[in-house]
Amino acid sequence: MRDFVFPGGTAVVTGAASGIGEALAHALARRGADLVLLDRDAERLDAVVAAIRAAHPDRRIDTHLVDLADADATDRVAAEIRRAHPRIRLLVNNAGVALGGRFDQVTLDEFLWVVDINFRAVVRLTHTLLPALKAEPGAHLVNVSSLFGLIAPAGQAAYSASKFAVRGFTEALRHELVDDGVGVTSVHPGGIRTRIAQSARVGSGVSREEYEAGRRQFEKLLSIDPAKAAEVILRGVERRRGRVLIGWSAKLPDLLARLAPASYHRVLVAGANRSAGGPGARSTSRPEPAPAPTPAADPVPAPRPAVGPLTPEATGGQQA
């Protein structure tokens, strides 16, 4: 498959009001793409559009306000985009939300809220817009999973379930769309500085004190700029890479999970406790609660059972 060509094509990006989605919108505009941007935050999305238009007045930019937790609204927006853009060169399903707490600390509604936005909305948008991708020669699909789509730490049952689902869905589509000439990339960011941690929900059974302690600890690990993450993603798209891992905070845990798929958590917890306590520190039998979910930064987040809404990468955009 030939390298992806950005200029002159239409790119659809969800979660475009902040974080990785905002950075992707700017980077795509610099590369000559027209944009269709989705988010639920009107004020932030307007600011992103104003900044892009000031820098690139010749770019066509369409926006859609939508809460991806609303299946009917998601379907309506997807149909509107399909009618207005019968040919789409790039679709980036980036929007995501986070929820902190063990499975027995969250309600079923809270759990399914994460699944609805992080996975079902990806499926809905892709299903409706796939014919437009197939109609455009050299098109490409990007689904942003997570480091927690490669490993599944305690306290992240909902988030990891949704992101593992995105990973499996994306891998299947990669194989199915080869003959159609549509490239497919699964993205797994490590720790990226975005707003997802601040806006993540806390499970009903999680104490605010536990959550705040974990969130503060986790935020120290977030070091990757969303703009850097966007560049890594788009380089992967250009080269038609099937999978993109962002930061050593994603690459090292991925390797560990391959080497020790049933026991990697103990190693990550031990390493995190050792880092927290200094050179001679020993691992404790009950690791500290992990922090809240946040956008892409560069931590090694698999440390401990998260109590707060904790995710290694904050994709931005769709937030509660």
DSSP assignment of the chain: -PPP--TT-EEEEESTTSHHHHHHHHHHHHTT-EEEEEES-HHHHHHHHHHHHHH-TT--EEEEE--TT-HHHHHHHHHHHHHH-S--SEEEE-----EES-GGGS-HHHHHHHHIIIIIHHHHHHHHHHHHHHTSTT-EEEEE--GGGT---TT-HHHHHHHHHHHHHHHHHHHHTGGGT-EEEEEEE-SB--SHHHH-EE-TTS-HHHHHHHHHHHHTT--B-HHHHHHHHHHHHHTT-SEEEESHHHHHHHHHHHH-TTTHHHHHHHHHHHHHH-TT----SSPPPB--B-SB------SS-B-SS-BS----SS--
The catalytic residues are 159
Query: Taking the chain, what is the end-to-end CA distance rounded to the nearest angstrom?
Result: 39
Question: Which residue, chain included where needed, has tokens 């817009």?
Answer: 129
* C-beta separation of 148 from 200 below 8 A: no
